[in-house]
Chains A and B, each alone.
Chain A
Amino acid sequence: MHGPMSSSGRGRSHRMGSFNGKPRRKKGNNELTTKEEVPELLQKQAQGLLEKGEEIKIAVSTDLRFDSTYGKDWLLVTDKRLIAFNQSGVLGHDIREVSLTSVEDIEILEMYGNNILKVTTSENAFELARYSKRLTPKFNLAVSELEKLSALKDADSGDGGRGRGGPGAGGRRRGRRGNGGNGTQPGGDKSRCEKCGEPIPSWSGVCVNCVKKSKLIFRLFKYAVPFLHVIIPAFLLMLLIRFVAVLPPILSKELIDNILMPVGTAVSTNQALPETSWGQLQGIADTLGGWFGSMPLGGSFGHLIAIIFMMVGLRVFTMGTSSIRGYMMAWVGQNVTRRLQNETYEHLNALSIDFFHERDTGNLMSRITHDVSRLRDFVANGLQDIVGDTFTILFMCTFMFSYHWKLALWTLIPIPCLIIFTIFFGKKMSKVYHVLWKRYANISTILASTIPGVRVVKAFAREQYEISRFSDLTHQVFTGEMNAAKLGTLYRPMMEFITYSGSIIIWLVGGWQIFQGDLTLGILFMFQSYMMQFFRPVYTLCQMNERFIRAGTSAERVFEILDTPPSVADKRDAVALANIRGAIEFKDVYFSYDSEKDALNGVSFQVQPGEMIGLVGHSGAGKSTLINLITRFYDPNEGTIEIDGHNSKEIRLKALRQQVGVVLQDPFLFAGTIAENIGYSKPGASRHEIIASAKAANAHDFIIKFPDGYDTMVGERGARVSGGERQRISIARAILKNPRILILDEATSSVDTETESKIQEALERLVQGRTVFAIAHRLSTLKYADRLIVLKEGEVDEMGTHEELIAKDGTYASLCQKQTELSKIRAW
């Protein structure tokens, strides 16, 4: 039903197998309450433990037991104690009791696929409840209530329970405590639907079950509304065309019955030509009497010619109006496309980084190109076709029934077969084509990965392997195509046979009726023509459902982009900080990309304006995350970042980013000239400024050596620019921007030593008077840093100047030592 589910994001926690084998959840099951109905049996057992007047304040059930089977255990909390019921055996329970006053620490161990709530007293520790990630919000809430009950929070708020102490055995200490306990993800989207409790596909952000396709399509037509002044006339034209298109068989009927038959009989019996009449076309003939009256031939032959002219006239009219209508609808369609594409692209630019991290570029590109054009097709043609075909069938039936209702009934007999077959085959075909489409996609995937990676393939002599992989895929496509061919070659003859059987029925019944004198040859002929025309509109109408579904899916994919709110957005009262001084303070910042693993775990530090900070640590220690938070590509889950004393969330994004400059490890150059690429950071920069910043970035010398100088085209299909040169262009870009906060993310890691020293020189100029964060693996790069922050597993491990840290002989000192040893080896 919802095909694109398959393209959903990679394993968010809620999509992991926590619920395998569990019966389908009841709707509304995920309501957040920490006071659940406790089973009577347990309640009785609990009562036995309680003192008089003691009341159960919190009762939460788990969905996992300690023996790793799914099932409900219970945790009850009164104002005096914690009671955990853990089922053992079939009915019995292990009951554990911890007095609230003895509790020293409550923590949630976040582990792989499940969490454990652990309580520590001064003497020992209890793991009281084990639950799957799905219950995280509930238990987060329970724990914060528990903390209130035990007054633990006050005693702890100094610096206790949280960040310090490192990871507990087997699991991470609680990093993220849901704000008030609703299951918010870092991006701000919910992992489960509030209405039906089903997981929300991460690509969509809206619950697929609760979204109505018809609603989506209705919404789609909003895009057509501005063009109604063209759509309505086009629609009326279409009705006219459809009506005119069913007229020719009537003309042929008149031709046969009123002219050919009497004339034929007369000629064969050697009688004088009969006086033919206009039959039922007399009215039209009268109005056009002037024309036909002056016809040179007159008599029966004149009638023949006149009717033939009318046939030609109708055809020409249909052709002419169809092309005019086609042009009108093409105009509407292209306008809708343009609006949708522009709107989608505009919104795409407003979205935050996390949106792009969760989706691949190809997917997004196809939404803006492929899906949008499918929607255009639906808006411009789809619906009108459906209405038009319905009318064609109605017109035909009306004529058939009005001329001869008995024969009409007989004629319609094969139509249900036609419908059933079309629907049946249509379903089969779409399945086959869906499989086929995936297989073609696999071929593109393999080409897209091996052609750019050809050096690796060749270097490891894996050509044969790749060839056989490819050949397997082409074989799959082959079998898929043959399946489609099997159905396709069967389908057409079947349809033709059904249509043919219809005309056989007409011959049979109609012939019999002629014997009865109940039917004329002309009407028989007219019915035959209609039978032939029946097939196409019926076929289109049978495809209607599929068309709706396809358009609905495309609409979903496009509207998803439009509906996703930027996870990092300006608050309404955000301040536009015009001149940032560059003081930055992290206050107990927690951040996690996926709510599974914490990237930052309670980071606090202060940076003075103009200070240069070196960020050191192993990969994955959180350096880049820290920078992503400063630039507000993401917002912290907990804690605050203050820039010049303002919470970063309260600063206007545009104002902030205008004053933050970034030089990345692998800088990106747009297709355009070097001058344009440097000037990208400052719209309207003068050539003077561009040359000056290129000079400051040590880029000028190599730029003017290109024959086209600053006018050299770079980027895809442009001139070859080496990594170091790209790097210096991007530094020039940052210099031109003159940012207050500068971020150097491995700015010199992929270049040779000589280039590095040139870049270093450029950077030295760039860092003056700004707050700088520099990430570097090569510690020598950080020699100008005022202070170093050493990160380890998302926490600040050490902080201080180079000398201080060396003297401390900790992580940094050992890192330094290792690098010195390495550089000795490399020093040749």
Chain B
Amino acid sequence: MNEAIKVADELEFLDASKVSIGRNAFEELVVQLPDGTIHTKVEPVRSFPVSETTRYISLLDNEGNELGIVEDVKKLTPNSRDVLTEELQKRYFMPKITKINSLDGQFGVTTWNVETSQGDVEFGIRTRYDIVTLESGRVLIKDADGNRYEIENYNKLDPKSIALLQTQM
């Protein structure tokens, strides 16, 4: 009888110290893998965009095939890390809401006027299902146009914001 596979052993991450990530003149990512092959126009993708932003970054080549997974951005060489972090910040834009100024609801559409880490903004939400509350108190919001916002922990907002937010949950 042969032993059943151990699942976790099946997955090999890229050896982060041997990966180098840079940028070429066309602002494209260029990745050199541990096996020495060089790939241009590489897309980094977060496996867990919501729950794990700096770990399990999948690198896709220009055809969408996975080159490998970087287990932790921190394990990369400083240069590569900076390039990757910068690229990820560009690809994933999710301002953190720090204060809710007002909520105006009519016919199911709510207009939010909020202060975020990236500045003040106003947006509309079409259904309450676009507001997802996680157990940790984190709130994820998708507006009518597909933009993303988050509240890191709604219990830590000011009382007025909490009161406003609770009308939406």
Q: Which residues of A contact B (CB under 8 A)?
A: 581-582, 609-610, 673, 675, 686-689, 691-693, 695-696, 700-701, 703-705, 707-711, 713, 717, 735-736, 738, 740, 765, 768-770
Contact = CB atoms under 8 A, between A and B. Distances in A.
Contact of B48 (A696, A709, A765, A770): A709
Given A704-B47, A710-B47, A689 B2 contact: no
Contact of A765 (B1, B5, B6): B5
Contact of A707 (B49, B65, B66, B132): B49
Contact of B4 (A705, A713, A770): A770
A689 B8 CA distance: 5
B58 interface: yes
A675 B10 CA distance: 18
Contacts of A738: 4-7
B7 A689 contact: yes
Contacts of A691: 11, 47, 56, 69
B123 interface: no
A711 B7 contact: no
Nearest to A697: B7
B23 interface: no
B64 interface: yes
Contacts of B64: 705
Nearest to B6: A738
B46 interface: yes
B48 A769 contact: no
Chain B's interface: helix, strand, loop or mixed, by majority?
A: mixed
Interface of B: 1-11, 45-52, 55-56, 58, 60, 64-66, 69, 71, 129, 132
Nearest to A735: B7
A673 B8 CA distance: 20
A768 B1 contact: no
A692 B2 contact: no
B43 to A, nearest CB: 10
B74 to A, nearest CB: 15
A400 to B, nearest CB: 53
A770 B1 CA distance: 9
Output the residue of B48, B56, B66, B132 with the most chain A CB within 10 A: B48
B56 A769 contact: no
Contact of B10 (A582, A686, A695, A703): A695
Contacts of A696: 5, 7, 10
Contacts of A770: 4
Contacts of A692: 7-11
Given A581-B1, A675-B48, A691-B69, 19 more contacts: A610-B1, A686-B8, A688-B11, A689-B7, A689-B8, A691-B11, A692-B9, A696-B10, A701-B65, A704-B45, A704-B60, A705-B45, A707-B49, A708-B50, A709-B46, A709-B48, A738-B7, A768-B4, A769-B1
Given A687-B56, A701-B66, A768 B5 contact: yes
12 contacts: A609-B1, A687-B55, A688-B71, A693-B7, A696-B5, A704-B45, A704-B58, A710-B47, A711-B48, A738-B6, A765-B10, A769-B1
Contacts of A735: 7
A689 B45 CA distance: 18
Nearest to B5: A768
Contacts of A686: 8
Contact of B50 (A711, A717, A769): A711
A709 B2 contact: no
A740 B8 contact: no
A769 B7 contact: no
Nearest to B71: A688
Contacts of B45: 704-705, 709
B51 A711 contact: yes
B7 A687 contact: no
A704 B91 CA distance: 14
Contacts of A704: 45, 47, 58, 60, 66
Contacts of B50: 673, 708, 711
B11 A695 contact: yes
Contacts of B1: 581-582, 609-610, 769
A710 B7 contact: no
A769 B10 contact: no
A192 to B, nearest CB: 48
Given A691-B56, A704-B47, A713-B132, A740 B4 contact: yes
A27 B50 CA distance: 67
Nearest to A692: B11
Contacts of B129: 717
Contacts of B9: 692
A465 to B, nearest CB: 34
B7 A736 contact: yes
Given A695-B11, A704-B58, A704-B66, A710 B3 contact: no
Contacts of B65: 701
B4 to A, nearest CB: 4
Contacts of B66: 700-701, 704
Nearest to A582: B1
Task: In the A-B complex, list the 3 residue pairs whose CB atoms are closest, starting with the nearest.
Answer: A692-B11, A711-B50, A769-B4
Nearest to A766: B5
A455 to B, nearest CB: 24
A358 B167 CA distance: 41
Contacts of B56: 687, 691
Contacts of A695: 10-11
A134 B130 CA distance: 58
Nearest to B60: A704
Nearest to A693: B7
Given A691-B56, A710-B47, A713-B132, A610 B2 contact: yes
A582 B69 CA distance: 35
Contacts of B5: 696, 738, 765, 768-769
Contacts of B7: 689, 692-693, 696, 735-736, 738
B49 A711 contact: yes
Nearest to B92: A707
Output the residue of A582, A609, A686, A710 with the most chain B CB within 10 A: A710
Contacts of A693: 7
A710 B48 contact: yes
B11 to A, nearest CB: 3
